[in-house]
Every structure is written in structure tokens, then in C-alpha cells.
Amino acid sequence: MKSYLALALAAVVSLTACDNKIEANDKNISLAVANYLDKKGELCLELTEWPLSISPSDMENKDVIPDALVPKMEALKALGLTAEAPGGNDPNDTNPYKPEVVVKRYVLTDAGKKIYREKEVTKYDYSNKTSKKVIEGDLCYGQKKLVKVINWTTPAKAGKWLFVNVTYAYKIDKVADWAKRPELSAAFPEIAENLAEAGKMEKKVLLKLNEQGWDEYDIGFD
């Protein structure tokens, strides 16, 4: 009878260990990487300030640099995602990063607004060690999804935290049709590069163990 009881207790302990969120096992590490990609794996054009103001130097570079700002806007305009608006002073343009002289502006069309995604992000002020949540948007065309975790390092302690460095493979889901258009390749070469890398390029992410389990390491003020 005692032997059966011991076996039962061992099984319970074993199951508890498998379900422990702090264990560096395949289930927990894969879940952490999948959550990380869900939060930060959206592929976007990194055009976050709208209306987008064009300066005199932007106009000078438009025929010199293929992926300069104006060619980018013109490529999106050809797809019906952006439209030109007058330059000069505009009291409705609250973009804090706009140039002193605005030659013209690009705004999102109704079609552009449909692919514009807003999400909450954390902005850090490292000099004052403060942070705040802000809403930031972008034009997005795909979402990275985990295919598999390839390997991870032995958990190592740094300060009060445990870390693992994870190598993984991913795919891209929900690729927008407009992002596949060849006329975008010169203005946005990173689109073709990102799509080509999916499934072929191994990536790494640093995970940190916290009270809830493993999560992507966000530098913050640790």
C-alpha cells in the first residue's frame, strides 16, 4: 500500500513541476516566445506620425535616394493609401516632429485608414527614469507567428533575475495584398526582405523570469 501511495505522490509532484510556469521547459519557453511575437511581431512601415510633413531636404533627396520619404509616400499614393495635402502652416497639424518649413503633407486616405493600426506602447525617459503609456499607430502588413523554438540557453542569473536566450523560427500570417505589390519594392525594400526571411532566418529573443513566468526582457529601468 505504501508503495502505491509513494507512486501517486511522485506523479502529483511530477505533474506540478510540468505545470510550473517558472520551469525553463519547452512548453513555457514556447508560450513566452509566442506571446512576445503576438505583442511585438506585427510588421509595419514605421510611419507613425500623420499627417506626414515633407521638408525641403526631403524634396531634394526624392530623386537621389530610392527609399527616401517622398518616394515612399508616392508609392503608397499610387496604391490609393495616401494623398497629398497643402504645406505651410497648419494649426491642425499637431505633429511635434514636423520640420520648420513644410513643403507639403501626406495624409491617409480612407483605404489607408483601414490598414492603420493603433496600439499602446511604453515610452521610456531614461534620463529621468520615468515611463508613460502612449498610443502609437502605423501601417501594418503582416504578423509574425511562432513556428518552433529551436533551442535556448541554460538559465543564467544577472542581478536578481534569471534569463534565457532563445533561438526560434517564425512564419508571417495575414500578409496584406498591397504589401506584395512589386511597385513597393524600391520604396520599401524591407517588405520583401521581411517576407523572404520568414521560415528561413532564425531569430533570437532574451526572456526574463518574473512572477508570472517567462516573458520578453524589456530593458525598462532594471
Burial class (CB in 10 A: 0-12, 13-18, 19+), 92: exposed
Chain-wide mean pLDDT for the chain? 86
* Percentage of the residues of the chain whose pLDDT score is greater than 70: 90
Q: What is the mean pLDDT of residues 38-54?
A: 92
Beta-bridge partners for 108: 82
Q: Identify the band that residue 221 occupies on the pLDDT scale cut at 50, 70 and 90.
A: very low
DSSP run (H or E) holding 195? helix 189-197
Query: Rounded distance, CA 196 to CA 139, Å?
Result: 19
Give per-residue pLDDT as tens, 102-125.
999 999 999 999 999 888 877 777
For residue 78, the model assigns a pLDDT of 95
Q: Are strands 213-216 and 203-210 parallel, antiparallel or unpaired?
A: antiparallel
For residue 11, the model assigns a pLDDT of 36
Q: What is the mean pLDDT of residues 160-168?
A: 94
Residue 222 scores a pLDDT above 60: no
Residue 185 scores a pLDDT above 80: yes
CB 78 within 8 A of CB 84: no
pTM of the model: 0.80
For residue 199, the model assigns a pLDDT of 82
Q: What is the mean pLDDT of residues 35-43?
A: 93
Least confident piece of the model among 118-127, 132-141, 191-200, 208-217: 118-127
Give per-residue pLDDT as tens, 50-97.
899 999 999 998 888 888 999 999 999 999 999 999 998 888 888 777
